[in-house]
């Protein structure tokens, strides 16, 4: 399997947090042996990690922290050196760093279980009840979000393209499995053999724009007692090769929606980050964004869009667009 | 304990950050790396008289550290991961040079402040207060998997930022010298 920087960085991060498995450790060792470029990156990562060891902590360390007396080394070199040599006892601490692997508690709800979620207690959303004045992309996202919610609530939900899951204590509708594909068009998924393929772009030959917006996840923020204050999202993007075009604009966006009249949706907050994908299928580009979740948010939507403009937009149907490793993390601080 | 000269003590102090980084690269577990650093420092103090002042102190200290890492691995037999020294040694000598460490530290302090506030909080808990993933998860009331993901993103952000800022910091240092 071709090693990507993303995959390598993940292994190194796991090693530093002591959550790496033996097989992953062997894999990391093999990568370092075969790729001098990754050796340099590894050493940089280690150096960054190690330098924090020497930083002063904002508040006094806890009693069970190991104390190594390296005081203000820039100002008292000699004293510190003598101290190192003369000290004969060290206070040791018993670090409990057995993070181990942790599986996200994802459950796929069947039809009878879905009635226990808050999604089932909400009335259908009327499409026309959106806040006007939002950008067309935002309206697209909200439109699709309401479709998925309504689709799930309808009697024919068993045929729904989306799936209801519980992740990090939140009910979530996801269409990622619907978009899932294995390697294609010369592009390999980042790690687990599956990636998402976005739908075909809608081309507007008059304005010479082409766009596809995929609403990937809809979180029901009322399904959890936890008071999440913010959320981070990151995804990797790629596109198939074409001689007729080069960069594509990808946008990862987060939308906080409120449902004040119980049958309507308004957007109360949004954030997005744009990145341009190159024409190199062997590399995935990373894009991330974050948002503070306003009080009263009922739904949190994660969307990915791909856009082209100008002459290359007219050839958008010759290309395919992909996303992989979507990671959404809610913070309660 | 052997007495050591002030000059040797200064050499020893100047190399602490490089030494710790080198040990951590072979044994990427902070707690164990700290243990080995202490053992290495004791040996370096004991062997002060053997040091050849015409030699390269860092190289000599790294050799002793390498041996201590191997000894530690044999004793403990429980670390999940330890790298054989020949994998990273060539690169480590250059990357962990004490002058480079100073520049990296400056770049890192800039990049740390550029982290989003919430990421900086998690970074502080993990990197500065050295809390475990489990303890951080309890403190911020988020699953351990989410904390691991956030830490991975923090490390990536810092790595990319530091690589970018290094050039600026190095040219600033060169400018000040001239």
CA A239/CA A262 separation, integer angstroms: 39
Q: What's the confidence (pLDDT) of residue B22? A: 92
Give the long-range contacts of residues A91-97, CB within 8 A, separation 24 or more.
A91/A66, A91/A67, A92/A66, A92/B35, A93/A64, A93/A65, A93/A66, A93/B31, A94/A64, A95/A66, A95/B30, A95/B31, A95/B130, A95/B132, A96/B132, A96/B134, A96/B135, A97/A17, A97/A18, A97/B29, A97/B30, A97/B31, A97/B132, A97/B133
CA A48, A54, A56, A60 dihedral sign is: positive
- Respond yes or no on whether ipTM tops 0.95: no
Interface probe with B: pick from A29, A32, A40, A49, most Cβ of B within 10 Å:
A49
From chain A, the residues in CB contact with B13 under 8 A are 73, 77-78, 80-81, 84
Secondary structure, 3-state, chain B? CCCCCHHHHHHHHHCHHHHHHHHHHHCCCHHHHHHHHHHHHHHHHHCHHHCCCCCCHHHHHHHHHHHHHHHHHHHHCCCCCCCCHHHHHHHHHHHCCHHHHHHHHHHHHHHHHHCCHHHHHHHHHHHHCCCCHHHHHHHHCCCHHHHHHHHHHHHHHHHHHHHHHHHHHHHHHHHHHC
Q: What's the confidence (pLDDT) of residue B83? A: 65
Give the long-range contacts of residues A272-275, CB within 8 A, separation 24 or more.
A274/A249, A274/A250, A275/A237, A275/A249, A275/A250, A275/A251
Residues 117-136 of A with CB under 8 A from B: none
Contact: B21, A46; criterion CB under 8 Å: yes
From chain B, the residues in CB contact with A15 under 8 A are 28, 81
Q: At what angle do helices B30-46 and B6-14 cross, to 10 degrees?
A: 160
Contact: A230, B118; criterion CB under 8 Å: yes
Q: What's the confidence (pLDDT) of residue A244? A: 66
- What per-residue string of b and e applies to B23-37 under the rule 16 or more CB within 10 Å gives b? bbbbbbbbbbbbbbb
Question: Highest mean pLDDT: which of A59-73, A95-109, A118-132, B4-18?
Answer: B4-18
CATH number for B6-95 (one of 2.60.40, 3.40.190, 1.10.1740, 1.25.40): it is: 1.10.1740
In the predicted model, is pLDDT for residue A136 greater than 60? Answer: yes
Nearest to A97 among B31, B83, B88 (CB): B31
Contact: B104, A48; criterion CB under 8 Å: yes
Q: What's the confidence (pLDDT) of residue A119? A: 54
CA B11/CA B13 separation, integer angstroms: 5
* Cα of B170 vs its chain's centroid, Å: 20
CA B61/CA B80 separation, integer angstroms: 25
- pLDDT confidence bin for B176, thresholds 50/70/90: low
Inter-residue contact A317 to A200 (CB < 8 Å):
yes
In the predicted model, is pLDDT for residue B3 greater than 60? Answer: no
Cβ-based contacts under 8 A for chains A and B: 227
Fold of B98-177: Arc Repressor Mutant, subunit A (1.10.10)
Q: What's the confidence (pLDDT) of residue A222? A: 84
What is the percent of chain A where pLDDT is above 90?
A: 14
CA A78/CA B52 separation, integer angstroms: 20
Give the residue-averaged pLDDT of A294-317: 87
CA A146/CA A326 separation, integer angstroms: 21
A169: left (phi over 0), alpha (psi -120 to 50) or beta: left
Question: Highest mean pLDDT: which of A281-285, A306-310, B83-87?
Answer: A306-310
pTM of the model: 0.53
Query: Which of A39, A14, A74, A79 has the alpha carbon at shortest distance from B101?
Result: A74
- pLDDT confidence bin for A187, thresholds 50/70/90: confident
Mean pLDDT of chain A: 73
In the predicted model, is pLDDT for residue A264 greater than 80? Answer: no
Give the residue-averaged pLDDT of A104-132: 41
Q: At what angle do helices A36-51 and B144-177 cross, to 10 degrees?
A: 90
Q: How far is A113 from chain B (nearest CA, A)?
A: 23
Interface probe with B: pick from A15, A37, A59, A331, most Cβ of B within 10 Å:
A331
**Residues sharing a CB contact under 8 Å with residue A38, sequence separation 6 or more, in sequence order:** A3, A8, A31, A32
Q: How far is B156 from chain A (nearest CA, A)?
A: 7
From chain B, the residues in CB contact with A53 under 8 A are 20, 30, 34, 130
Q: What's the confidence (pLDDT) of residue A64? A: 37
CA A228/CA A139 separation, integer angstroms: 25
What is the percent of chain B where pLDDT is above 90?
A: 26
Delimit the domains of chain B by residue range: 6-95, 98-177
Cα-Cα-Cα-Cα torsion A146, A148, A149, A153, nearest 10 degrees, comes to 130
Q: Tell me which of A77-81, B36-40, B143-147 is least confident.
A: A77-81
From chain B, the residues in CB contact with A104 under 8 A are 143, 145
Q: What's the confidence (pLDDT) of residue A67? A: 37
CA A274/CA A251 separation, integer angstroms: 4
Q: By CA distance, what is A94's nearest residue in B?
A: B31
Give the residue-averaged pLDDT of A295-317: 87
Would you state the structure tokens that stand for residue A72, as one six-digit string?
């203000």
- Size (chain B), residues: 178
CA A27/CA A217 separation, integer angstroms: 32
- Say whether residue A224 is in contact with chain B using an 8 A CB cutoff: no
Contact: A81, B141; criterion CB under 8 Å: no
Give the residue-averaged pLDDT of A162-191: 81
Contact: B162, A43; criterion CB under 8 Å: no
Give the residue-averaged pLDDT of B120-135: 90
Contact: A65, B12; criterion CB under 8 Å: no
CB-count burial class (<10 Å; 0-12, 13-18, 19+) for A71: exposed
Residues 162-191 of A with CB under 8 A from B: 168-169
Q: How far is A250 from chain B (nearest CA, A)?
A: 19
Inter-residue contact A192 to A286 (CB < 8 Å):
no
Q: How far is B11 from chain A (nearest CA, A)?
A: 8
Class for domain A107-331, per CATH?
mainly beta
CA A140/CA A134 separation, integer angstroms: 10
Residue A246 or B8, more confident: B8
From chain A, the residues in CB contact with B116 under 8 A are 290
Inter-residue contact B163 to B169 (CB < 8 Å):
no
């Amino acid at each position: 399997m071709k090693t990507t920087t993303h995959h390598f960085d993940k292994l190194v991060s796991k090693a530093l947090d002591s959550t790496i498995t033996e097989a992953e450790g062997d894999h990391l060792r093999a990568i370092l042996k075969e790729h001098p470029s990754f050796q340099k990156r590894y050493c940089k990562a280690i150096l960054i990690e190690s330098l924090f060891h020497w930083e002063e902590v904002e508040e006094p360390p806890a009693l069970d922290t190991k104390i190594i007396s390296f005081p203000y080394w820039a100002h008292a070199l000699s004293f510190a050196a003598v101290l190192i040599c003369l000290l004969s006892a060290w206070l040791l601490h018993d670090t409990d760093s057995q993070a181990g692997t942790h599986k996200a508690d994802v459950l796929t709800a069947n039809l009878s279980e879905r009635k226990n979620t808050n999604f089932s207690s909400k009335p259908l959303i009327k499409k026309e009840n959106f806040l006007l004045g939002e950008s067309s992309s935002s309206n697209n996202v909200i439109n699709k979000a309401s479709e998925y919610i309504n689709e799930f609530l309808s009697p024919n939900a068993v045929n729904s393209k989306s799936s209801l899951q519980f992740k990090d204590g939140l009910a979530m509708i996801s269409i990622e499995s619907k978009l899932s594909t294995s390697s294609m068009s010369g592009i390999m998924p980042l790690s687990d053999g599956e990636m998402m393929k976005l739908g075909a772009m809608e081309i507007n030959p008059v304005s010479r724009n082409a766009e596809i917006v995929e609403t990937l996840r809809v979180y029901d923020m009322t399904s959890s007692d936890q008071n999440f204050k913010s959320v981070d999202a990151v995804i990797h993007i790629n596109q198939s090769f074409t001689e007729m075009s080069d960069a594509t604009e990808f946008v990862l966006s987060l939308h906080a929606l409120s449902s004040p009249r119980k049958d309507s949706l308004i957007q109360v907050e949004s954030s997005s980050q744009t990145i341009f994908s190159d024409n190199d299928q062997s590399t995935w580009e990373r894009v991330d964004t974050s948002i503070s979740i306003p009080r009263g948010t009922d739904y949190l939507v994660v969307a990915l869009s791909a856009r082209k403009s100008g002459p290359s937009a007219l050839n958008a149907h010759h290309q395919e667009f992909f996303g992989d490793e979507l990671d959404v993390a809610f913070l309660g601080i | 304990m052997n007495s050591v000269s002030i000059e040797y003590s200064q050499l020893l102090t100047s190399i602490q950050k490089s030494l710790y980084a080198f040990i951590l690269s072979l044994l990427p577990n902070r707690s164990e790396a700290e243990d080995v650093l202490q053992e290495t420092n004791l040996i370096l103090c004991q062997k002060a008289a053997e040091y050849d002042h015409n030699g390269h102190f860092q190289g000599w200290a790294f050799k002793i550290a390498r041996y201590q890492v191997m000894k530690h691995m044999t004793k403990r037999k429980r670390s999940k991961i330890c790298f054989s020294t020949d994998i990273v040694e060539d690169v480590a000598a250059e990357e962990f040079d004490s002058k480079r460490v100073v520049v990296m530290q400056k770049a890192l302090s800039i990049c740390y402040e550029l982290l989003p506030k919430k990421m900086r909080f998690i970074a502080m808990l993990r990197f500065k207060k050295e809390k475990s993933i489990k303890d951080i998860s309890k403190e911020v009331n988020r699953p351990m998997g989410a904390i691991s993901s956030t830490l991975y993103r923090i490390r990536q952000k810092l790595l990319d930022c530091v690589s970018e800022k290094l050039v600026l910091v190095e040219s600033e240092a060169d400018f000040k010298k001239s």
